[in-house]
Chain A
Amino acid sequence: TEGGGGGVAAGMKETLDKVVTAHKVVLFMKGTKDFPQCGFSHTVVQILRSLDVPFETLDVLANDALRQGLKEYSSWPTFPQLYIDGEFFGGCDITLEAYKSGELQETLEKAMCS
């Protein structure tokens, strides 16, 4: 059975607060932007590239503590996870929908100007 998670450990939360605000756009993904290890992560990388915004990626496959911590931090069970301006924006489906509707571009523009 599962161990009692019950929220993000204090140290992990502080670390993640710093990581998600260190850059305007941060993508937690499987693999790296040059070598995505999953189609969903690849999709979001492609979208961000096509919009020509600078973004940082972190490979959750390379750090299991980061991977588990983020799931609780974001209250989101899967990867990729996109953060814009320190806020959780969504996973692959939401990012793709928002890209199609123009909402993503709008959010990114706002973030870049802030």
Chain B
Amino acid sequence: MGVTKEDVEAAVAAALSPTHLVVTDTSGGCGASYEIEVVSGKFEGKRLLERHRMVNTALAPLMAEIHAVSIKALTPEQAQPQPSPPAVTADKA
């Protein structure tokens, strides 16, 4: 029972032909939840709400068993390293 990270990856990959895709299981006390970072040329010229809707549509068959998704949807251009350092950095020992 339940949806796996691989199911989520496969659904997003099939629908959006991403150039970059990272799915992370982030059950943070609320149950089965995923964080999805996806870069796709299909987001070109689309507003954030539309991009998220595209990801939601791809996940529609799985959503009944998913508690929450957090989506980061970028175009290949936006995914290029920015000249300024990112605001949030993770300190790793």
Complex Cα spacing A95 to B26, Å? 19
**Chain A CB within 8 A of B49 CB:** yes
Dominant secondary structure of chain A at its interface with chain B: mixed
In this complex, how many residues of chain A approach chain B with their Cβ under 8 Å: the count is 17
Q: B52, A94: Cβ atoms under 8 Å?
A: yes
Q: Indicate which residue in A76, A77, A93 contacts B70 across the interface (CB closer than 8 Å).
A: A93
**Is A93 touching B72 in the complex (CB atoms < 8 A)?**
yes
Cβ of B28 within 8 Å of any chain A Cβ, yes or no, is yes
A75 CB contacts on chain B under 8 angstroms: 53, 56
Question: Contact: B69 with A39, CB < 8 Å?
Answer: no
Chain B residue nearest in CB terms to A100: B87
A binding-site residues for B, Cβ under 8 Å: 2, 38-40, 75-78, 88-94, 97-98
